[in-house]
């Protein structure tokens, strides 16, 4: 028997009921994340350094504030989007001067982007006028937990840069031609180790290690040509007279005229040598001489040995302990000046208490000052680093910056010596993870009155170099 046909009203009611059911299901589906564990947790933006009020008027905030930091899991989630904030550069004032300078640094805007070498245009007062479109690829991967450490050096006529690039236990070299924008990388190996860059900007002091068929290891010093890869073995370092099983040699550095080579000897305490010591060693004209010996001492600062611009004096930073076994207790970081002509030395300055020197910068171009990064542990156990100037004649110390809870690195002078530049690292270092760290490059006048960022974001150790051109 044929059934009754439903009325139009009944059909309409059925359709409305079905649509309502679909809407309810859809609303429930969007209220439950497909993968709740993948939802990022947003926290506040990177904090600003504790500094005196700026000397410039800050630009009005943009409609969208600085991108927020994303709390990243470990290992780093490659799907997380986190561009690093652009520094709060002072507004440009006045007209572009005829003579400008270039500060080259690694632009690092995002944890997943490859850092590229870029130049910022500055004037002699440290005012930023913009960033150039020039770009040089050093082959640095943006890999977990972040790019490798890089240090930049300039050489004759400022047409060539050399970069030291960390790679695990090795330090590779990259020769950068500023005219062709090409970079050549030379890899350090167990068989070839680099120790010092020659002032000619073309060679590097290296050690070649070989093992013959009988298993005998031989070591040879050489000058390695970074452009042609040729090796010159007609070179003597002269450490044989001081060599011993419990001694190490490091911090090799050529004098500006390349006629002398200085380095440090650190002799650990042993049954035959009960006192640990650090010695400044000078090699010239085939003769090796120990100019300064510090007992109960060790070296902890980065680049602890530096030549003065005139090549007459060496500056050394060493940590000296009261206890002969370096077991702790009373200790201090000491800054010594060594006259390479007559071998005399004098203690210029010392840091007492919890203060320690983490980096000794190159001398000012006129040799009147040395700049140093000094770290200090506060009452809340936070390390704060700041920039200090030390007069090379009197030892008078002047504090330039007042950052709190920041790492400072890579001190450099402006070409005319009127300003000091340095890197300021941001991010959480509590768990020794660096993938969420970035840095800015700041400049300061010598009286500390003018301080502001000029470049960034860049990699955590903030490699840069300030050149005339």
Tens digit of each residue's pLDDT (9 = 90 or more) over 371-422: 999 998 765 556 789 999 999 999 999 999 999 888 899 999 999 999 999 9
pLDDT score at 236: 65
Tell me the pLDDT of the chain averaged across its residues: 78
In this structure, the number of other CB atoms found within 10 A of the CB of residue 41 comes to 9
Residue-wise pLDDT for 126-170, tens only, equals 999 999 999 999 988 876 566 788 999 988 676 899 999 998 899
pLDDT score at 156: 65
Who has greater pLDDT, 451 or 61? 451
| Confidence tier at 302 by pLDDT (50, 70, 90) | confident
CA–CA dist 233, 240 (Å, integer)? 16
H or E segment at 76?
none
**245-353: which CATH topology?**
Lipocalin (2.40.128)
Q: Structure tokens of 29?
A: 């589906």
Say if residue 457 is preceded by a cis peptide, omega within 30 of 0: yes
pLDDT score at 248: 83
pLDDT score at 151: 92
Whether the pLDDT of residue 85 is over 60: the answer is: yes
Residue-wise pLDDT for 100-117, tens only, equals 999 999 999 888 888 999
pLDDT score at 141: 80
In this structure, the number of other CB atoms found within 10 A of the CB of residue 328 comes to 9
Locate the DSSP E strands across 322-463. Answer: 331-339, 345-351, 356-363, 369-377, 383-391, 397-399, 407-413, 419-426, 438-445, 451-458
| Confidence tier at 269 by pLDDT (50, 70, 90) | low
Q: Is the dihedral of CA 131, 135, 199, 335 positive or negative?
A: positive
In this structure, the number of other CB atoms found within 10 A of the CB of residue 203 comes to 23
Whether the pLDDT of residue 39 is over 90: the answer is: no
Residue 394 CA to chain centroid, in angstroms? 29
pLDDT score at 21: 45
Who has greater pLDDT, 198 or 145? 198
Who has greater pLDDT, 7 or 271? 271
pLDDT score at 199: 93
Whether the pLDDT of residue 14 is over 90: the answer is: no
Who has greater pLDDT, 28 or 360? 360
Residue 374 CA to chain centroid, in angstroms? 15
Who has greater pLDDT, 215 or 328? 215
Whether the pLDDT of residue 1 is over 60: the answer is: no
Domain extent listing, the chain: 67-143+354-469, 148-235, 245-353
| Confidence tier at 69 by pLDDT (50, 70, 90) | very low
What's the pTM?
Answer: 0.78
């Amino acid at each position: 028997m044929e059934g009754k046909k439903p009325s139009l009203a009944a059909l309409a009611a059925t359709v409305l009921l079905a649509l309502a059911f679909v809407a309810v299901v859809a609303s429930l589906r969007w209220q439950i994340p497909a993968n709740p564990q993948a939802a990022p947790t947003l926290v506040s933006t990177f904090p600003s350094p504790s500094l005196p009020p700026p000397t410039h008027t800050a630009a009005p905030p943009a409609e969208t504030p600085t991108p927020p930091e994303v709390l990243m899991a470990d290992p780093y989630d490659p799907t997380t989007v986190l561009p690093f904030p652009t520094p709060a550069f002072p507004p440009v004032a006045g007209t572009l001067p005829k003579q400008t300078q270039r500060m080259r640094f690694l632009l690092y805007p995002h944890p997943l982007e490859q850092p590229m070498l870029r130049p910022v245009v500055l004037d002699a007062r440290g005012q930023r006028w913009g960033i150039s479109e020039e770009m040089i690829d050093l082959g640095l991967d943006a890999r977990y937990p972040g790019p490798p450490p890089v240090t930049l050096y300039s050489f004759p006529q400022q047409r060539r840069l050399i970069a030291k690039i960390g790679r695990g236990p090795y330090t590779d070299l990259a020769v950068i031609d500023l005219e062709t924008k090409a970079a050549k990388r030379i890899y350090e190996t167990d068989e070839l180790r680099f120790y010092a860059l020659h002032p000619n900007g073309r060679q590097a002091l290296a050690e070649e290690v070989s093992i013959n068929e009988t298993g005998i290891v031989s070591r040879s010093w050489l000058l390695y040509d970074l452009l042609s890869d040729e090796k010159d073995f007609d070179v003597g370092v002269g450490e044989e007279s001081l060599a011993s099983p419990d001694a190490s040699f490091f911090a090799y550095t050529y004098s500006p005229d390349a006629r002398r080579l200085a380095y440090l000897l650190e002799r650990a305490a042993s049954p035959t040598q009960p006192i640990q010591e650090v010695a400044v060693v000078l090699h010239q004209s085939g003769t090796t001489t120990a100019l300064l010996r510090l007992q109960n001492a060790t070296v902890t600062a980065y680049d602890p040995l530096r030549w003065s611009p005139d090549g007459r004096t060496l500056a050394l930073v060493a940590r000296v302990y009261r206890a002969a076994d370096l077991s702790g207790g009373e200790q201090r970081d000491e800054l010594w000046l060594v006259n390479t002509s007559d071998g005399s030395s004098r203690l210029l300055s010392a840091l007492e208490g919890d203060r320690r020197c983490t980096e000794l910068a190159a001398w000012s171009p006129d040799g009147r000052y040395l700049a140093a990064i000094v770290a200090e542990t506060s009452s809340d156990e936070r390390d704060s680093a700041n920039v200090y100037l030390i007069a090379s004649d009197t030892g008078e110390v002047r504090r330039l910056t007042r950052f709190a809870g920041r790492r400072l690195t890579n001190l450099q002078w402006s070409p005319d010596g009127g300003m000091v530049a340095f890197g300021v690292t941001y991010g959480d270092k509590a768990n020794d993870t660096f993938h969420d760290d970035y840095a800015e490059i700041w400049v300061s006048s010598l009286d500390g009155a003018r301080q502001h960022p000029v470049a960034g974001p860049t990699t955590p150790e903030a490699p840069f170099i300030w050149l005339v051109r």
